Amino acid sequence: MKKFLTSVILMAGCSAAMSAQSFTLQKGEEGTVTYNNGDRITVPYTSQDWGVGFISYKWDSELFLHANSTCIAQLTVYSECNDVQVCGGGNCITTGSQPDNTVKKTISLEKGKDLNMQIEIISMTGTMPFDTPQEATVTCTADGQTVEVTLVFVPEENTALTDITGSAADFIAVSGRTLDYAFSSPVTLTVYTIAGRAALTHRLSESGSLSLATLPAGVYIYRAGTRTGKFIVH
């Protein structure tokens, strides 16, 4: 199975030279734990409710950049997956809406403040099941100091690719306005708006492609057999 890589690069430059490190990189639920260069962090992702009780999976970095001095933070996110939503500094940007699937943000950080870096994979291209583990690289640099860590996003319900719910061959992937799929047996696909209204229903054969040309641009939730998720139509 092809493995996708999401790369996340964060560089923080401080307004004045400091003898102490100008930032700490930490996970929210672990308080002030500081990560060191080369660390690997396991980040479980969980099911999230959307619309009228429907489920999609959320990847969330849960990482914070804590400023020990006033800093300018540049956040650059690149992904081979389509689409990755990046939230930080009060707004969200989707990689698929940017040139070369790259998001760049510059954020001012006041001393003692945190930048919450949330990264959510909304939909993916290729033949990867929606609940496949992902990896991301996060690099923070300030005053000539660098900390690079690897995030390993793993489903809370599963710990290995071989233990994914449903057949390993089952997948749904959306690229542009085309939905590709493969299932061990025919299933009914229902696509809902974010408000929970049914927008499309189609009986899927064991494998093939389905045009989404009739759907207006927006975020959608789908259910196909036991598989659920969400995707964006541009």
The length of the chain, given as a count of residues = 234
pLDDT of residue 84: 63
pLDDT, average across residues 66-90: 65
Could you tell me what percent of the chain has a pLDDT over 90?
Answer: 3
Work out the end-to-end distance of the chain between its first and last CA atoms, rounded to an integer number of angstroms. 27
* pLDDT tens digits for range 95-136: 667 777 676 766 677 788 777 777 665 554 444 454 555 555
Give exposure, 62-80, as e/b (b: 16+ Cβ within 10 Å).
bbbbbbbbebebebbbbbb
Phi then psi for residue 163, to 5 deg, are: -110, 20
40-65 pLDDT tens trace: 766 555 544 333 333 344 444 556 77
Helix (H) / strand (E) element for 107: namely: strand 102-109
Residue 39 Cα distances to 25, 118, 149, angstroms: 11, 19, 5
Question: In the prediction, which pLDDT does 151 show?
Answer: 62
Q: Give the per-residue pLDDT at 11.
A: 41
* 32 vs 218, higher pLDDT: 218
Calpha distance 153→132 (Å, rounded) = 9
Question: Minimal CA–CA distance to 5: which of 67, 81, 76?
Answer: 81
Peptide bond into 83 cis (omega under 30): yes
Cβ partners under 8 Å of residue 188, min gap 6: 201, 202, 203, 204, 224, 225
Tell whether the model's pLDDT for residue 183 goes beyond 70: yes
**Is residue 33 classed exposed, middle or buried when 0-12, 13-18 and 19+ CB atoms within 10 A define those classes?**
exposed
Q: For residues 174 and 143, what is the distance between their CA atoms, to the nearest angstrom? A: 42
Confidence at residue 99, expressed as pLDDT on a 0 to 100 scale: 73
Q: What's the mean pLDDT when you consider all of the chain? A: 64
167-233: CATH topology: Immunoglobulin-like (2.60.40)
Which of the 8 DSSP states describes residue 28? G
Per-residue pLDDT tens over the stretch 18-31 = 335 667 766 655 45
DSSP state of 98: S
Q: Which of 188, 132, 204, 205 is nearest to 165 (CA)?
A: 132
Helix, strand, or coil here: 154? strand
Domain spans, the chain: 6-155, 167-233
Model pLDDT for residues 191-219, shown as the tens digit of each residue = 888 767 889 999 988 788 899 999 988 87
Range picked from 72-76, 96-100, 139-143, 173-177 for highest mean pLDDT: 173-177
Reported pTM: 0.45
The predicted structure's pLDDT at residue 138: 65
Report the alpha-carbon angle 151-156-157, nearest 5: 145
What is the reported pLDDT for 56?
Answer: 41
Which pLDDT band holds residue 92 (cuts at 50, 70, 90)? Answer: confident
Helix, strand, coil shares of the chain, percent, nearest 5, are 5, 55, 40
